[in-house]
Each structure stands twice: as C-alpha cells, then as structure tokens.
Structure 1
Amino acid sequence: MAELRPSLNDQKDKIWDIPTVTKVKAFLWRASSEALPVVDLLKIRGMKGDSRCQICGEEGESINHVLFTCTVARQIWALSRFPSPMGGFDAFSVYSNLSYLFNMGKSRILPQQIKRLFPWILWRIWKNRNFFPFEARAFHPLETQQKIEDDAKKLSMAQIVDNERE
C-alpha cells in the first residue's frame, strides 16, 4: 500500500513567490521535490557508498537531516535570528519544516530582514554540505551565519536599486 502523503503542489508554488534569487528558488524546489543528491536518495537509486551524513557522520543522510537536524544545521539555525518551531524542527518531515518556514516568511510579526533569511540559511547549509566532501573544507557555523547575513543584505540592496530604477 502506498504511503499517504500531502500534496506538495501548493508548497512548491509558494517557492516561486519567495523574494530571493532564482538559483535559491530552484534549490528549494528540488529540496521539496526530494531531488537533492543525498545519501539516502542515492541508495534508493542503486548507488553504493557510505551511508552516513557527509558532515556529522550520523547514520542516514536525508534532505531533512542535512537542512534541519544535522548537528551543524542545528547550530546554524540556532545562531540565526530566524525563529525555530516550538520543540524544534520535525525530525522526519522536510515538508513540515518547509511549511513552517514558508508560514513564518509570511508572518506580519517578524521584521522583513529576519523573514528574508530562511532561504539563505537553507542555501548555505547545503553549500557547506557540498564543500566538505568535494573540497575537503567546512565552514564554521559562525562564519556561515555571517555569509547568510551578507547574502540576504546583498539581495536586499539589489532590490532597492531595482526599485529606484523603476
């Protein structure tokens, strides 16, 4: 019997409305489509290799693990000014975690400079994950947090310049 899962179409549609660059939107779409090359998905497709997380060494590397529950990801989320869910991120559902982020991104309570961070947090966590095995280097969570702030600030400044030209 097939596992019952919610439709992801509404969530995927929301991605294209996020005020960020196209490469980050495409990355978010791939994350929500379970189309990122993580160990768990590569194994399903028949590839052999180490089944542990490329960053923390924990057994199993899912998209949800890399972006939300890996020890490094949790450190980066804790350092960010973006509010985490009560009780922390869901340990198993990337869908639930992305839904939470999208909802918080629409919050009227959070300042705009905080709301714009979550796509960049996810992007930098993913970039760090790829730097480690391919370039044999990792970024410290504090350094990553600074890059996230810089990315978000650059995009905001570019949007201001674009608005002034119109």
Structure 2
Amino acid sequence: MGWLVAHEALNTVDKLISYGMDVDAGCLLCGQTNESLNHLYFACQDKEESFDVLRSKDTGCSFPLVIDLDWWSSRGGTNVQRGVQIALFLGAIYSIWYQRNKCRLDAVLVHPNQIALQVIEGVRNRTRGREKEIKNANDVNWLCHRHLM
C-alpha cells in the first residue's frame, strides 16, 4: 500500500473519472470535497483523526503525513523503533484505503478512532509475536512505554 500511495497508483475516484467511469466524485469519508489521493491521505479530516490517535501520547510515535522515504530512512532510533513507526504509518495507509472501500461498497463508515485502534492492535500483536527476538532493553522499554508490547 505504501508503494502504491508513494507512486500515486491507487484508483481513487478522480482517476476513475479520468478513465471515463461515471462515479460520484465526493469523498465518502468526510463529504467535504472530491476524492483524490492527495485529499484521501493528506487532507481528509476523517483521516486526520486516525493519524492523530496513532501519533498520540499512547504510542508516542510521530511521523509526517507524507510519504517521504528520505525522512523515514534518516529517522533516529533503533531498527525496532523505526520498524514499529513504519508499521503504524503503513497500517494507517492500508486501513484508510480499506475503510474508503468499505464505505464505497458496503455503505459502512467506521469511526476514525476505531481505525487507529485496529492499527495499534495489529502492530501490538506483531510486536508480541516477535518478543523473543527483541533483546535490546532500550527497545523493550520503548515498546512497553508506548503500550506496544
């Protein structure tokens, strides 16, 4: 999903319209403007709430709302810490697309906080599954402090 977003390869409504399809152009998540990749991931208010929860004090993680590979590769911290932050970010990218599709196909809208909590739980489960591999005490403390282990 991250690659598709970074390369603007998702079939958002603006692209479908440019292909000649007759679809409603509005963003189903916020209803405030037309759906485009830029809007869906970087301007939609509904999405903002999901990212805000992921960047909250509970996770203690911070990341930009852009796909900037230079920023991600220059991040401080250990490989485990960077990996967890990337997993949170990519989980949000996937979950927002999934929610958009669920809303479009099934007319079901999930609250942004629920989306974020699902992403956090997925990362937490993934981290717990690799608990024996994480030997650095700083990483264990970092994960425990963020309730990710």
User: Does TM, normalized by the shorter one, top 0.5?
Assistant: yes
Deviation of 1:159 (Å):
3.7
> How far apart, in 1, do the equivalents of 2:47 and 2:91 lie?
13
- The total of aligned residue pairs comes to 126
> How far apart, in 2, do the equivalents of 1:130 and 1:72 lie?
14
> How far apart, in 2, do the equivalents of 1:150 and 1:156 lie?
10
Q: 1:128 maps to which residue?
A: 99
Q: 1:29 maps to which residue?
A: 3
Whether 1:155 and 2:126 are equivalent positions in the alignment is yes
More RCO (CA 8 Å, sep 6+): 2
Call closer, same or farther: CA 1:105–1:121 in 2, change over 3 Å: farther
Q: 2:144 maps to which residue?
A: none
2:30/2:46 contact within 8 Å kept: yes
**Which ranges of structure 2 fall in alignment gaps of 5 or more residues?**
56-60, 135-149
1:105/1:115 contact within 8 Å kept: no
1:40/1:61 contact within 8 Å kept: yes
Call closer, same or farther: CA 1:104–1:42 in 2, change over 3 Å: same
The one-letter code matched in structure 2 to 1:83 is S
The DSSP-based 3-state class of the residue aligned with 2:92 is: helix
2:53/2:113 contact within 8 Å kept: yes
Q: 2:146 maps to which residue?
A: none
Q: 2:24 maps to which residue?
A: 50
Q: 1:11 maps to which residue?
A: none
RMSD (Å) for aligned C-alpha atoms: 2.5
> How far apart, in 2, do the equivalents of 1:105 and 1:148 lie?
22
The one-letter code matched in structure 2 to 1:156 is T
Call closer, same or farther: CA 1:28–1:115 in 2, change over 3 Å: closer
What's the CA shift string for 1:78-128, capped at 9, x where partnerless? 12124254xxx5xxxxxxx1007x624651158824453111111111111
1:77/1:84 contact within 8 Å kept: no
The one-letter code matched in structure 1 to 2:67 is L
Call closer, same or farther: CA 1:45–1:78 in 2, change over 3 Å: same
Whether 1:83 and 2:62 are equivalent positions in the alignment is yes
Deviation of 1:131 (Å):
1.1
Q: 1:40 maps to which residue?
A: 14
Whether 1:65 and 2:33 are equivalent positions in the alignment is no
What's the CA shift string for 1:22-61, capped at 9, x where partnerless? xxxxx22222222212111111111122111121122321
Deviation of 1:146 (Å):
1.1
**Which ranges of structure 1 fall in alignment gaps of 5 or more residues?**
1-26, 90-96
